[in-house]
Chains A and B, each alone.
Chain A
């Protein structure tokens, strides 16, 4: 009866960390970037708890608790910052702040146009209510 070895948990932590890193680098929405950074922290937490389990002591778990505390602080401050940035530019796009880049860097230019917004379904047209329908004349064919 072999339990799950330490290696497997470390692999899961590494995958979460790498996915979070990709999300942080590639996404342009500030909120999604921040969520990706939080996912990297989750990968690290899996690692720490796995080491605590295989070492038989509580040091890794205590460390994870402090990660949780710092992540809560980070979320509070980052969300306040994101709200402020949104108020200034009216968008969550991080590329709108690219004048903060280093002097030698090329600016990001969006070449492909965005797809047109999805067309809204036209509302069905109903016959106006409140009118008396034209009555058919009763005719007899006797």
Chain B
């Protein structure tokens, strides 16, 4: 069993089958749908694409509850991915430009869900307005009659789609290993379920095996916390779970104390939500030079210290989900950040725009027909 090929196959087929399945289906779909002179099995391609999309929604992007946010997220990201697939497989360039506009508009919806209204407006105006219209002008100027090599053929469709989906599979695996919240979500759901029970015995039944110190449940909880990365926060949260396990085994189960059990459950839920919010938080070096106008620095401690003293620099957090809150006046704060921390970059960006304008005029302004 030490054969590396076998180990790799087991890794692909048994350990990570949802990712492998989705990437393989997507590969088949895009390979069959890429334009080619002899029409391939397009119906099979469309079916594989639909199946890949549904499986991605069900297996990889798995949302527990159906709140408004979840429905909007699914709608916007579904439209974005479908329009992206159309852009790649559509043989008519004008339609491809329109599906690009659709990708941009649904991405703007995702921006709005992520508390970035200014970026939503700017992207809609610049991309979906200016850039797509310019594209349509160029398509109109560079129009070709009838069928053409450019639109009816693909270059190396097999290798290109293989490259793309191997890349996608690798990214999805890394994301799933580092940021997948499935385990901690399950643990939080069990703690919440236990909290509603009236007696300590029933709470213990939710947590699973009695008499084994509830080792499996708490070990799973610690594993889920550790999955977000080995930071100081994760270690502190893991220690908190140790204490809570002692309290649970020593007091709640032995004395059948329901009030104490509910308190432990509330603490566990808090720890779980903190761990969930700490997933994917990178810890950049400490000597960041950005001011407070760009928000709290990325290396700020994730949570206020345990002694309960209010920290003026700490993040304001959402009460339920522990996700940091963005400032309400997004545009004002973004403007302040741009004109304090990013002033040099703004000036450079303006210079770049000027140079690009001059360059575009110099390139396109030549007259003289085809042999210019």
List the interface of chain A (C-beta within 8 A of B): 1-12, 14-23, 25-32, 34-36, 38-39, 42, 45-46, 49-59, 61-62, 64-66, 68-77, 79-84, 86-95, 108, 110, 112-117
List the interface of chain B (C-beta within 8 A of A): 30, 34-39, 56, 60-61, 63-65, 67, 69-70, 73, 77, 80-81, 84-85, 87-88, 90, 93, 96-97, 100, 103-104, 107, 110-111, 113-116, 118-119, 122-123, 126-127, 130-131, 134-135, 138-139, 141-142, 144, 146-157, 159-161, 163-165, 167-168, 171-172, 175-176, 179-181, 185, 188, 276-277, 279-282, 290, 294-298, 315-318, 320-321, 323-327, 330, 333-334, 337-338, 341-342, 345, 349, 352-353, 355-357, 359-361, 363-364, 366, 369-372
A3, A16, A46, A72 — most chain B CB neighbours (10 Å): A3
B38, B315, B338, B364 — most chain A CB neighbours (10 Å): B364
Tell me whether B155 and A117 are in contact (CB under 8 A). Answer: no
Q: A2-B188, A5-B179, A35-B100 are in contact. List 19 more A-B contacts (CB 8 A).
A: A2-B185, A4-B73, A12-B80, A20-B84, A26-B34, A35-B135, A42-B103, A45-B107, A49-B116, A53-B326, A57-B298, A59-B290, A71-B131, A75-B131, A83-B142, A91-B148, A95-B149, A114-B153, A117-B147
Chain B residues contacting A115 (CB-CB under 8 Å) are: 37-39, 147, 152
Report the nearest A residue to B325, measured CB to CB: A56
Task: Select one of A45, A79, A93 contacting B148, CB under 8 A.
Answer: A93
* Main SS at interface, chain B: helix
Chain B residues contacting A79 (CB-CB under 8 Å) are: 134-135, 138, 360, 364
Report the nearest A residue to B154, measured CB to CB: A26
Chain A residues contacting B114 (CB-CB under 8 Å) are: 9, 49-50, 52-53
Within the complex, the shortest CB–CB distance from A54 to chain B, in Å, comes to 6
Per the bound structure, the CA–CA distance linking A116 and B147 in Å amounts to: 8
Tell me whether B87 and A58 are in contact (CB under 8 A). Answer: no
Tell me whether B349 and A62 are in contact (CB under 8 A). Answer: no
Tell me whether B154 and A27 are in contact (CB under 8 A). Answer: yes
* Main SS at interface, chain A: helix
Task: Select one of B63, B85, B127, B342 contacting A62, CB under 8 A.
Answer: B342
Tell me whether B88 and A27 are in contact (CB under 8 A). Answer: yes
Chain A residues contacting B100 (CB-CB under 8 Å) are: 35, 38-39
